[in-house]
Amino acid sequence: MREFLKSVNRIVVKIGTSSLIHPNGKINFSGIDQLAFVLTDLRNQGKELLLVSSGAIGVGMDKLNLRERPQEIPIQQAVAAVGQSELMHIYNQRFLGYSQQTAQVLLTRDVVDFPESRSNVINTLEQLLSMGIIPIINENDTVAVDEMDHTRKFGDNDELSAVVSQLMAADVLIMLSDIDGFYSDNPTKNQQATLYSAISMIDQTLLEQAGSEGSRFGTGGMLSKLKAAQRVLAANSTMVLANGKPPRIIFDILAGDEIGTLFKEGSV
């Protein structure tokens, strides 16, 4: 059923904060290094990769020795500014270890909502891909706030990854989280919860099963992943939600293995 994944070419990978930061708040260097290895190897196979990465605030919290995520917007933005710089330094170091060039792209919602700037974003990303460079994309957390009718925020990087997938007409969005896929209930609280292998349509029942909580280092919960999947399905594309620990699971997903939850029209 997933044999088609073997032939996909343009891939958006979204990595969540929980895959980049250990539960104790420290940076998961081995996970980041493995992610760099996997994406570089796929790039060496001729595939086009775009990485949407969370983690700016989580890395900033570690850098500034903060135990709890700040609640005030200006402090969050300051922490994100510190964390984004450090996160890109780590990514650059890890990817260059495999001779892979990366580029940072920071977006806000208004940039992709206006036709001219939207075209510029697409042109920039297309050019980077044509040069064999892996764009590392994040929301510009230092300026992204909602101001009256001027919406600048995507909401979270789950939605951002779906927007990027849509903008770039990606063959598949691989969303890596800290859970094995989409369950009928929270599997950490309900042992009877069942994993959905494939979902072709998102209805109110699924939205209610999703809940809403994210981690203390990130913002996205299962509900945000379902909303991202809604956008992907509406674009007649494909998304796979799987556990990103370890990132090597991307190889298995692209080999067509029955891993995580596949979101695709007609998949059920």
The annotation places the binding site at 14, 54, 141, 157, 177-178, 219-225
E strand intervals along the chain? 10-15, 48-53, 102-107, 134-139, 172-177, 198-199, 239-243, 261-263
Query: Tokens in use for 33?
Result: 């290094």
Q: What span, in angstroms and rounded, lies between the C-alpha atoms of 13 and 254?
A: 12
Query: Tokens in use for 56?
Result: 């700016």
Residues 220 and 214: beta-carbon distance below 8 Å = yes
Which segments are annotated as binding site for substrate?
A: 54, 141, 157
Q: What span, in angstroms and rounded, lies between the C-alpha atoms of 51 and 134?
A: 7
Residues 153 and 145: beta-carbon distance below 8 Å = yes
Residues 49 and 86: beta-carbon distance below 8 Å = no
Angle separating helix axes 222-234 and 157-167, nearest 10 degrees: 10
Q: Which residue has the tokens 């792209």?
A: 105
Neighbour tally for 234: CB within 10 Å? 12
Task: Give the largest Cα separation in the chain, rounded.
Answer: 50
Cα–Cα distances (Å) from 149 to 8, 49, 73, 162, in that order, read 38, 34, 18, 22
Residue 11 has what DSSP assignment? E
3 state DSSP class of 145: coil
Residues 158 and 218: beta-carbon distance below 8 Å = no
